[in-house]
Amino acid sequence: MMKVECTRLASGLTVVTETMPHLESVALGTWIKSGSRNETSDEHGIAHLLEHMAFKGTARRTARQIAEEIENVGGEVNAATSTETTSYYARILKDDVPLAVDILADILTESSFDEDELEREKNVILQEIGAADDVPDDVVFDRFAETAFRDQTVGRPILGTPETVMSFSADEIRAYLGRNYTTDRMFVVAAGAVDHDAFVRQVERRFDGLPVLPAAPPVNETARYTGGDRREERDLMDAQVLLGFEGKAYHARDFYCSQILANILGGGMSSRLFQEVREHRGLCYSVYAFHWGFSDTGIFGVHAATGGENLPELMPVIVEELRKAADHIDGQEIDRARAQICAQLLMGQESPAARAGQIARQMMLYGRPIPNGELMERLSGITVERLTDLAGRLFFDTTPTLSAIGPLGQLAPMDEIVTGLSRRTARAAAE
């Protein structure tokens, strides 16, 4: 039987495990409630650079030793930076958990930030930035966030810019770390063949070097959704188009409603957009809807990739489907979307890595693991009336955000799209 246990250490560090006794492996990691939006105005990209530098040598290990020690026992270690979180994680056989804990603690408490390694890693990130700029569907999402949250850290690309990345010193990285990597903002989580009490002892012993209080208060800039229009003409085969609106924060009453609505509109092959735009009309090869939550805001969007010649017909069809969602949603659509989300949740619990990440996110957002029954109850309370009301408020009452890249000569002007999403237009279409 799987069991979630949580212990808060005297230092303030939180340790959580879910024992999955039928497994032979453990997924574990450290999640920090800090990401790119916790950077100051002149630290753009430093959170991601720190994540890279953590693996480039410590007081006890070289970069090569970090890689070799974990791989010598068949394990793997990696990290990721997002807008609001950073994670360092490993997958290991159950007998090698102490090694993984030791390595993760080592890179988070004793990284050396060697100057030569720093210069090399800066160049690696410059290549990463260049590679991302060559991928239109990456660029369109970066431009989308920048437009939705103009001139704010929450809207900046996580990688930074070549100029900012090259400017950072080891001392500046240490300052960011000291301000954000503190025990009150960190969670060590393991899922799989793990013994909670033994794991707590290992973490307590090895993570004792973490700062308890920040060297300076963390940056907490409240997000302000702005919306707007951002187009970039490029000589490409296809146009990438993103149309979006202000979504709901994780704690908002309508968060799970927004997830269901996104699923109904564009969450799979049976969704409205896929069926109407791709299957019925053949206007694009990719179309889907999504909803991203943050701690204080969110984003609801529709992404489509198509040839530029299809844009004059594509955009009105997408707008029409958004209008229809505010007018009518079928109960069967809700049941299907709810079933898909529940299945994804339960299937994820069969993977220790997915489960560890899920528990960590719940701890950072809600301060506790959320039982499956509670999540199901939240989803079961979503009605047709709530969804149509939400769709009307999302699509008619907020300024849209449009981001597009590629051959855009036939893409409708923004004022035409806004007019199509007005309540007056919706009423006229319904009459």
CATH number at residue 411: 3.30.830.10
216 found inside a domain = no
214 found inside a domain = no
Among candidates 44, 410, 45, which has minimal Cα distance to 231? Answer: 410
Among candidates 15, 197, 204, which has minimal Cα distance to 7? Answer: 15
Q: Is the four-CA dihedral 39, 248, 133, 146 of positive or negative sign?
A: negative
Q: Is the four-CA dihedral 414, 420, 425, 427 of positive or negative sign?
A: negative
Q: Coil, strand or helix: which one is 143?
A: helix
Q: Which residues of the chain have pLDDT under 70?
A: 1-2, 215, 423-431
219 found inside a domain = no
401 found inside a domain = yes
In this structure, the answer to whether residues 303 and 196 fall within a common structural domain is no
Amino acid found at 328: H
- pLDDT tens for residues 182-201? 999 999 999 999 999 999 99
Residue 410 structure tokens: 């036939």
pLDDT at 349: 86
pLDDT at 398: 87
Query: Quick check: 307 and 238 in contact, CB under 8 A?
Result: yes
Distance CA 158, CA 170 (A): 19
In this structure, the answer to whether residues 251 and 293 fall within a common structural domain is yes
In this structure, the answer to whether residues 156 and 261 fall within a common structural domain is no
- Give the β-pairing of 401-406 and 228-233: parallel
What residues are paired with 26 via a beta bridge?
92, 192
Last residue of a domain, one of 206, 237, 272: 206
What is the edge-to-edge ordering of all strands in the sheet holding 228-233? 228-233, 401-406, 239-246, 298-306, 286-293
Amino acid found at 283: L
Query: Quick check: 212 and 392 in contact, CB under 8 A?
Result: no
Query: Quick check: 223 and 154 in contact, CB under 8 A?
Result: yes
What's 286's DSSP letter?
E
CA dihedral 90, 87, 345, 262 (to 10 degrees): -140
- pLDDT tens for residues 389-431? 999 999 999 899 999 999 999 999 999 999 989 765 655 555 5
Query: Quick check: 351 and 221 in contact, CB under 8 A?
Result: no
Could you give the C-alpha distances from 126 to 137, 161, 340, 381, 399, in angstroms and in order?
Answer: 19, 8, 39, 47, 34
pLDDT at 373: 86
In this structure, the answer to whether residues 256 and 390 fall within a common structural domain is yes
In this structure, the answer to whether residues 176 and 239 fall within a common structural domain is no
Could you give the C-alpha distances from 208 to 30, 204, 356, in angstroms and in order?
Answer: 14, 6, 22
218 found inside a domain = no
What is the edge-to-edge ordering of all strands in the sheet holding 86-93? 3-8, 14-19, 186-192, 25-32, 86-93, 76-81
In this structure, the answer to whether residues 114 and 15 fall within a common structural domain is yes
217 found inside a domain = no
Distance CA 147, CA 158 (A): 15
221 found inside a domain = no
Could you give the C-alpha distances from 279 to 100, 260, 330, in angstroms and in order?
Answer: 48, 22, 20
Catalytic residue among 43, 51, 84, 121: 51
pLDDT at 425: 60
Distance CA 61, CA 40 (A): 31
In this structure, the answer to whether residues 331 and 183 fall within a common structural domain is no
User: Which residues make Cβ contacts (< 8 Å) with residue 83, sequence separation at least 6?
Assistant: 35, 36, 37, 154, 158, 294
51 catalytically annotated: yes
Residue 102 structure tokens: 């030791």
Residue 420 structure tokens: 């199509």
Q: Is the four-CA dihedral 61, 62, 67, 69 of positive or negative sign?
A: negative
For the entire predicted model, the pTM comes to 0.92
In this structure, the answer to whether residues 424 and 314 fall within a common structural domain is yes
78 found inside a domain = yes
Distance CA 257, CA 383 (A): 9
Last residue of a domain, one of 206, 236, 257: 206
Distance CA 362, CA 110 (A): 28
Domain that holds residue 315: 228-430
In this structure, the answer to whether residues 244 and 198 fall within a common structural domain is no
Distance CA 146, CA 227 (A): 9
In this structure, the answer to whether residues 138 and 183 fall within a common structural domain is yes
Q: How many domains does the chain have?
A: 2
Amino acid found at 403: S
In this structure, the answer to whether residues 412 and 265 fall within a common structural domain is yes
Strand intervals (E) in 13-134: 14-19, 25-32, 76-81, 86-93
Distance CA 86, CA 180 (A): 10
pLDDT at 215: 67
Could you give the C-alpha distances from 275 to 174, 304, 321, in angstroms and in order?
Answer: 51, 13, 11
In this structure, the answer to whether residues 270 and 180 fall within a common structural domain is no
pLDDT at 313: 96
Query: Quick check: 32 and 85 in contact, CB under 8 A?
Result: yes
